[in-house]
């Protein structure tokens, strides 16, 4: 019975998880100087204590040049003891812990890293007003290897799983999307060519993970705009990832530099986003154009479900549903449609013990639903420490 599935153990590759809930990789900030802080450790420990099956540390770059914020971590040997402290804290609460690994590509901030941003085609990116350098084949090969090195360090730090970020308009997604990939060599043109970098990353990640660490991949159902990767190609990418040995897929959508709230839905916190912006030029641009350039998308619970079901029909590997879950009733429905796990972010910002709450009271609904969702918690990441600001 679907209603009994939620609190049963589940398996992703070599990893057994105590129930079917995963804390989604929603960016927390909380990494001043690029190192996990006590606040980050305490947050994930609290989510684990609150009943989650597995919690995911969000966006950790595989290189310094792949960062977009100064309070964003990157995986390097000096950071391993900090991450080990986090994984130990989560394990003491009985949960598993994963880390999302990726590279920002054309959204990388040179003021943070000192390095010029890179991208498949070197085109202007309005997110952060960057003019990235077009990647050479040696750049592509090196960044694929960087993903493998980051996976190896994540294993050393005690993570049970890694999540390769291949969605949301980050670097792998930039290669997959015809909007950002205008190359004419073997990395551009057909989807098979555009997916070549993804295959290279997966080979490095699988080799580094070995047989003890699960490899999940966050991938787009679609980019969410004309000229981007569409739903048909989203299905083909899922098949490619199954072929490359992914242990599970996390199904999302949207493009941070083009359709940032497609993946979130609800209200866009324009005022908060503007007030938290430190760069005066970007702040002025946001004051003038944010309401024109950043589109609102209506929120309905489980808003990706009907598109995600098409992936369920196309592949056999475990699937993680993510997108707007705030109630036990809808979670049970999603699990009943053939998904193996559900991923939750905003509800766990508002209530770190959300999972225990819906275990004890199946009628409980997250206050995220009551706030709009307002998405103000998303804006707080610019200040360095994600938090819920809703007081209702």
Of 371, 158, 379, the C-alpha closest to 260 is 379
- Work out the angle at residue 167's Cα, subtended by the Cα atoms of residues 161 and 171, and round it to the nearest 5 degrees: 100
Tell me the H-state helices in the chain: 2-5, 38-49, 80-92, 110-113, 137-156, 171-176, 191-194, 196-209, 231-243, 270-276, 280-293, 305-314, 328-336, 346-350, 354-360, 367-371, 376-379
Q: At what angle do helices 196-209 and 231-243 cross, to 10 degrees?
A: 40
Please tell me the number of Cα atoms within 13 Å of 261 on its side-chain side: 23
User: Residue 332 in contact with residue 6, Cβ under 8 Å?
Assistant: yes
| CA distance linking residue 30 with residue 42, whole number of Å | 10
**Active site amino acids:** 170
User: Residue 377 in contact with residue 386, Cβ under 8 Å?
Assistant: yes
The gap between the terminal CA atoms of the chain, to the nearest Å, is: 35
Query: Tokens standing for 68?
Result: 């977009």
Q: Is the dihedral of CA 58, 59, 63, 67 positive or negative?
A: negative
Phi first, then psi: give them for residue 57, nearest 5 degrees.
-75, 125
Backbone torsion region of residue 64, taken as left when φ is above 0, otherwise alpha when ψ lies between -120 and 50, otherwise beta: alpha
- Beta strand 15-17 pairing with 10-12: antiparallel
User: Residue 126 in contact with residue 164, Cβ under 8 Å?
Assistant: no
Phi first, then psi: give them for residue 330, nearest 5 degrees.
-70, -35
Q: How far is CA 195 from the centre of its chain?
A: 19
Query: Tokens standing for 167?
Result: 């969605």
């Amino acid at each position: 019975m679907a209603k009994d599935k939620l609190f049963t153990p589940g398996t992703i590759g070599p990893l057994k998880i105590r129930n079917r809930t995963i804390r989604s990789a929603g960016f927390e900030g909380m990494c001043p100087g690029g190192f996990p802080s006590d606040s980050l450790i305490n947050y994930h420990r609290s989510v684990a204590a609150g009943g989650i099956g597995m919690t995911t540390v969000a966006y950790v770059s595989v290189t310094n040049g792949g960062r977009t914020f100064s309070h964003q971590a990157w995986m390097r040997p000096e950071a391993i003891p900090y991450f080990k402290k986090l994984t130990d804290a989560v394990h003491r609460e009985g949960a598993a812990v994963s880390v999302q690994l990726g590279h920002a590509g054309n959204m990388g901030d040179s003021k943070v890293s000192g390095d010029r941003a890179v991208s498949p085609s070197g085109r202007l990116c309005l997110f952060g007003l960057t003019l990235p350098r077009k990647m050479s084949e040696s750049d592509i090969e090196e960044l694929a290897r960087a993903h493998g090195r980051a996976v190896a360090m994540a294993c050393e730090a005690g993570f049970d799983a890694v999540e390769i970020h291949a969605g949301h308009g980050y670097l792998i997604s930039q290669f997959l999307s015809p909007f950002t990939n205008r190359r004419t060599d073997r990395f551009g043109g057909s989807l098979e060519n555009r997916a070549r970098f993804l295959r290279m990353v997966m080979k490095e990640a699988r080799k580094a993970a070995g047989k003890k660490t699960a490899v999940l991949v966050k991938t787009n159902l679609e980019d969410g705009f004309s000229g981007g990767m569409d739903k048909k190609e989203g299905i083909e990418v899922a098949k490619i990832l199954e072929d490359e040995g992914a242990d599970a897929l996390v199904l999302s959508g949207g493009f941070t530099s083009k359709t940032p709230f497609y993946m979130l839905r609800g209200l866009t916190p324009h005022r908060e986003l503007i007030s938290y912006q430190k760069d005066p030029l970007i702040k002025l641009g946001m004051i003038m154009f944010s309401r024109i350039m950043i589109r609102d998308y209506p929120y309905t619970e489980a808003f990706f479900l009907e598109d995600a079901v098409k992936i369920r029909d196309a592949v056999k590997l475990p699937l993680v549903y993510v997108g707007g879950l705030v109630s036990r009733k809808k979670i049970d429905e999603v699990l009943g449609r053939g998904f193996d796990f559900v991923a939750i972010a905003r509800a766990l910002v508002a209530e770190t013990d959300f999972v225990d709450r819906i275990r004890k009271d199946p009628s409980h609904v997250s206050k995220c639903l009551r706030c709009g969702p307002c998405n103000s918690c998303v804006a707080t990441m610019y200040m360095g420490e994600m938090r819920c600001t809703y007081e209702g």
